[in-house]
Amino acid sequence: MAWFVVALSATVAGAVQRVTGFGAVVVLMSVLPYFFGIVDAPTLALSINILYTVALLWKFRKYVDLKLAALPTAIYSVLAAVMVRLIGDIEVRALAIALAVLLMALSVYFLAFAKRIKVRGSMMLGVACSSVAGVTGGLFGVGGPPMVLYFLAAAKDHDTYMGCLQFLFVVTGIVSLGSRVCSGMFRAELVPYVAVGIVGTMAGMWLGERICRRLNADAMRVATYIFVGVSGLILLLQQL
């Protein structure tokens, strides 16, 4: 059962990330904790997503604006590494509840407020968003949404947004995953699932390319974040 879940969730995650530029780890983290626990799930999600993110970065490499991306990436990386070190001191149930609340909050934000809130892409916004992202990224592997808010406001066009976002994901993903490896959180038993997940995300990338051309991307985003919110609610109810 776990093999099928990893393959299917990775395929959906890959398609979502190709359409929206982010969301793969959010999708994975709304499913994987049920089967791998709150500590192993982020490690697995990051491992599955890193190669796919590198592929997306290569696709948009010409549009990376380091003036926008360098400082937020550095702040995110440092805070994520620090939070990974603190995971062992946090009670597992508290982590699960925090993740559930985060998933529901993300669902509500992107369904109800994302298109209504307009912000200026200032450096202060970049610092604030990357600080929040570093904390949530280190704990759960979910740091993309705050950075989406910043890059959507600061990037001059969609390609620059995609390039900067994927640059940040690659660098911070390597840092976060490296920190987890050094902390002993990457276990040999996860390797086969990582391999299955990578194949799934590549299939999702292929699917996402076709969705971009033919289907309504907004409808896909709505369905995805309803699913994320429901998953967070179920996880929360399990912990109460």
Question: For the chain, how many structural domains are there in total?
Answer: 1
CA distance 220 to 224: 6
The gap between the terminal CA atoms of the chain, to the nearest Å, is 26
What does the alpha-carbon distance between residue 189 and residue 224 come to, in Å, rounded to a whole number?
29
Q: Tell me if 116 sits within 8 A of 61, measured CB to CB.
A: no
* The residue type at 131: S
Query: What confidence tens digit (pLDDT) does each residue in 59-114 have?
Result: 899 999 998 899 999 999 999 888 888 776 666 677 777 777 877 887 787 777 76
Distance (Å, whole) CA 140 – CA 80: 10
Q: Which domain holds residue 123?
A: 2-239
Distances 92 to 118, 140, 187 between C-alpha atoms, Å? 36, 12, 18
pTM for the full predicted model: 0.77
pLDDT digits (tens, 9 = 90+) for 10-66: 888 888 777 766 677 878 887 888 888 877 888 888 888 888 788 889 989 999 999
CA–centroid distance for 37 within its chain: 17
